[in-house]
Chains A and B, each alone.
Chain A
Amino acid sequence: MNTPVLLSARGISRSFGGNAAVQDVTLELHQGVVTALAGPNGAGKTTLFNLITGHLVPDRGAVELKGASILGLKPHRVALKGIARSFQDLRLFGSMSVYDNVLSAIEPTPWLWQPGGSSGAAARRLQVERALDATGLAELAGTRAIDLSYAETKFLSMARIIATGAPIWLLDEPASGLDPASRARFVKLVRDATAAGVTVCLIEHNLDIVTELADRIAFLDQGRKLAEGRPDQILGDAELIAIYFGERRE
């Protein structure tokens, strides 16, 4: 990789009781590069995200953003440093409208109002509208999140991230269960973002999407990183593919 490392997790481990969910994993995200995290269910992919974003604290290891440690920071501090993430189970703000979901995602100041006065508010509204346009949700702005269809909830989850303008996105199975047309729209969203310089790490089971989007693939299984490389290297490895599809050889 030619671009510099933006975000890195080095040698991180975390276990729950006796279950080592992530063991000594090192992951580097290079500026502007799309890295896919692949691996079977329970491999530790989501846990790795949680360890990076501060939703979980690693037992061992280091997490650095542009060379400075962000280990042990609370999730909201990590977020404010420009790392936006999605959740596998989405975690939308269910009782709020689509518009408010996105707007609230860019109102981090924990005070009675946001700084910046009315011009700040206008700028945020513009950001929200752009994100809604990009995700095709503009018409649904007033709908409550719990009333959306499945595909719409997936795009709302993306809209919240797009609106933040964060330079790093961690996406946890953002396209799972989408129909082909929606999947194509999703691919375009990510392409547009990377063209604008966003660094993306993507957990994805669908190999079509992985081949279409990823510049690199890191392959996890049972908490360990088994391999990392270009898509053709990883997807050409019969052993990894066998693990992936559950035909584990002993």
Chain B
Amino acid sequence: MIAYLVNLATLIAIFGIAATSLNLLIGYAGIFSIAHAMFFGIGAYVAAQVALTVSPDFLVAALAAAVVAGALSLCLALPALRVRGEYFVAASLGLQMMASTIFAEAHSLTGGVGGLVGIPPARILGFDVASPDAFLVLALACLAVTLAVVRTLMRGSFGRSLMALRDSESAAEAFGKDVRALKTLVVVVGCFFVGIAGALFAFHMAFVNVESFTLEQSVVLMAMVIIGGAGTLTGPLVGVIALLSLPAALSFLPFIPATEIGTVQQFIYGALMTALMIFRPSGIVGLSRGAR
């Protein structure tokens, strides 16, 4: 039971980072990306490769993962600068689908469908952090750092600029804001952090394959942000806890066969997303928008 809870808490920390980083795009900048699992995956694969071939030090692997994910996020920044609305959603979907295929097919980099196995236990500066408890502390520390950085940035001028261009791009421009630079920057920062989440994920599972980085995962991440409350600091975390606890809660219900839990879970978060958009579009934590 304890082992189960530690595992759950670790996953909550990892997905908490991922959802918080996605919230930078969706909630603050109004960039509706459905390709976040792609960058989660890039982080995981890079960390796994670094751990397998260079060094099992978490700091090295996570830094490499974050930098590569941040750099490759320019593929997402490009359409974000050129198009918006439906077009950008479509572009990010296209990107996610291409990435899934590449993850499954680029055997030399990703191990193909079989994935990368035997990722060594994480170490930090020579210390072993592989035990579940130690790794949970590491994951929570990463989450805390992410939240602190995001909170500081979003309460500062960067956050204000993003919200300004989300609320009115033309007015933001009229006050000297370089919309292209800001959008590029937020995409890079968001993907940098999800790269770290990917690195934690790779060490935690000791195995990564394409299954974890598909369109479904992107949708789950989006659901976490939106159900919790986009554009708030704690919303994504609430969403992560809600969605990750769901399978556990469902397994206590005797009338659901164990094999169907995944399906029931999918139904619940799908229906929840729809219901929230109808009755409370700002999410569980979000402020009500008020009448215009």
B-contacting residues of A (Cβ < 8 Å)? 53, 55, 74-76, 79-80, 84-85, 87, 91-96, 100-101, 103-114, 144, 146-147, 160, 164
Task: Find residues 147-199 in chain B having any chain A CB closer than 8 Å to their own CB.
Answer: 153, 156-158, 160-161, 163-164, 166-168, 170-179, 181-182, 185, 189
- Select one of A80, A95, A111 contacting B176, CB under 8 A: A80
Known: A108-B177, A108-B178, A112-B153. 7 other contacts (CB 8 A): A76-B175, A87-B174, A104-B161, A107-B157, A110-B177, A110-B185, A146-B292
Q: Check A109 against B157 for contact (C-beta < 8 Å).
A: yes
Give the tally of cross-chain contacts (CB within 8 A): 99
A93-B168, A110-B185 are known contacts. Are A79 and B160 too (CB-CB below 8 A)? no
Which chain A residues lie closer than 8 Å to B170 at the CB level?
55, 75, 87, 91
Q: Report the minimal beta-carbon distance from A159 to chain B, rounded to whole angstroms.
A: 12
Q: Report the minimal beta-carbon distance from A78 to chain B, rounded to whole angstroms.
A: 8
Q: Identify the closest chain A residue to B160 (Cβ).
A: A104
A-contacting residues of B (Cβ < 8 Å)? 153, 156-158, 160-161, 163-164, 166-168, 170-179, 181-182, 185, 189, 231, 289-290, 292
Which chain A residues lie closer than 8 Å to B166 at the CB level?
95
Which chain B residues lie closer than 8 Å to A110 at the CB level?
161, 177-178, 181-182, 185
Q: Check B174 against A104 for contact (C-beta < 8 Å).
A: no
Interface pairs (27), CB distance under 8 Å: A53-B174, A55-B170, A55-B173, A55-B174, A74-B173, A74-B178, A75-B170, A79-B174, A93-B164, A93-B167, A93-B172, A94-B168, A95-B166, A103-B160, A108-B176, A109-B157, A110-B178, A110-B185, A111-B158, A112-B185, A112-B189, A113-B158, A114-B157, A144-B290, A146-B289, A146-B290, A147-B290
- Select one of A84, A105, A113 contacting B156, CB under 8 A: A113
